[in-house]
Structure 1
Amino acid sequence: MRQTALMDVPVTALLLALWPLFALIVAGYFMHLRGFPNEAFWPGAERINYFILFPALLFSSLASAPLDNPALPRLATGVLLALGLAWIALLITRRLRGWPAARFGAIAQGILRFNTYLGLAAVGSLFGSEGLALAALMLALMVPTVNVMSVWALTAERGVSARSLLLPILKNPLILACLAGALVNLSGLGLPGGTDRLLGLLAAASLPLGLLCVGAALKPRELGGEVPALGWNSALRLLAVPLLAYAVARLLGLPAMEATILILFFALPTAPTAYVLTRQLGGDSHLMAGLITLQTLLAAASLPLVLRLLSG
Structure 2
Amino acid sequence: MLLFTIWPLFALICLGYALARAGFPDPGFWPAAERINYFILFPALLVASLVSAPVRDPAILKLGGAAVATILLAAAALALWRFVVPSPAARFGPTVQGVIRFNTYLGLAITGSLAGPEGLGLAAVLLAVAVPLVNVMSIIALTEAGSAGRGRALVRAILRNPLILACIVGLGLALTGIGLPFGADRLLGLLAQASLPLGLLCVGAALRPDAARQDLPALAGIGAMRLLAMPALAALVGAGFGLAGTEALVLVIFAAIPTAPTAYVLTRQLGGDGTLMAGLVTAQTLAAVATIPAMLAALGLR
TM-score interval for Structure 1 and Structure 2 normalised by the shorter chain: over 0.9
- Contact 2:74–2:230 (8 Å) recurs in 1: yes
Residue type matched to 1:236 in 2?
M
- Contact 2:49–2:124 (8 Å) recurs in 1: yes
What secondary structure sits across from 1:158 in the alignment? helix
Cross-structure match for 2:128 = 140
1:210-221 correspondence runs (5 A): 210-221=199-210
What secondary structure sits across from 2:105 in the alignment? helix
Q: TM-score normalized by structure 1?
A: 0.94
**Aligned pair 1:297/2:286, yes or no?**
yes
In 2: Cα distance, 1:168 partner to 1:236 partner: 29
In 2: Cα distance, 1:221 partner to 1:163 partner: 33
- Contact 2:214–2:279 (8 Å) recurs in 1: no
1:126-205 correspondence runs (5 A): 126-161=114-149, 163-205=152-194
CA RMSD of aligned residues (A): 1.2
In 1: Cα distance, 2:142 partner to 2:249 partner: 31
1:47-58 correspondence runs (5 A): 47-58=35-46
In 2: Cα distance, 1:214 partner to 1:252 partner: 33
In 2: Cα distance, 1:183 partner to 1:96 partner: 43
Structure 1: stretches of 5+ with no match in the other structure: 1-11
Cross-structure match for 1:257 = 246
Which of these residues, 50, 61, 68, is aligned with residue 62 of structure 1? 50
Relative to structure 1, the CA distance from residue 187 to residue 252 in structure 2 (aligned partners, 3 Å threshold; closer, same or farther) is: closer
| Identity between Structure 1 and Structure 2 (%) | 58
Residue type matched to 1:47 in 2?
R
Residue by residue over 1:22-72, the C-alpha shift from the partner in whole angstroms, topping out at 9 and shown as x without a partner, is 000000000001000010000000000000000000001111222123431
Residue by residue over 1:229-259, the C-alpha shift from the partner in whole angstroms, topping out at 9 and shown as x without a partner, is 0111101100011111111011122022101
In 2: Cα distance, 1:228 partner to 1:37 partner: 36
Q: How many residues align?
A: 300
Cross-structure match for 2:295 = 306
- Contact 2:227–2:292 (8 Å) recurs in 1: yes
**Aligned pair 1:278/2:267, yes or no?**
yes
- Contact 1:46–1:210 (8 Å) recurs in 2: yes
In 1: Cα distance, 2:73 partner to 2:209 partner: 31
What secondary structure sits across from 2:148 in the alignment? coil
**Aligned pair 1:82/2:31, yes or no?**
no
In 1: Cα distance, 2:176 partner to 2:242 partner: 31
In 1: Cα distance, 2:204 partner to 2:13 partner: 4
Structure 2: stretches of 5+ with no match in the other structure: none
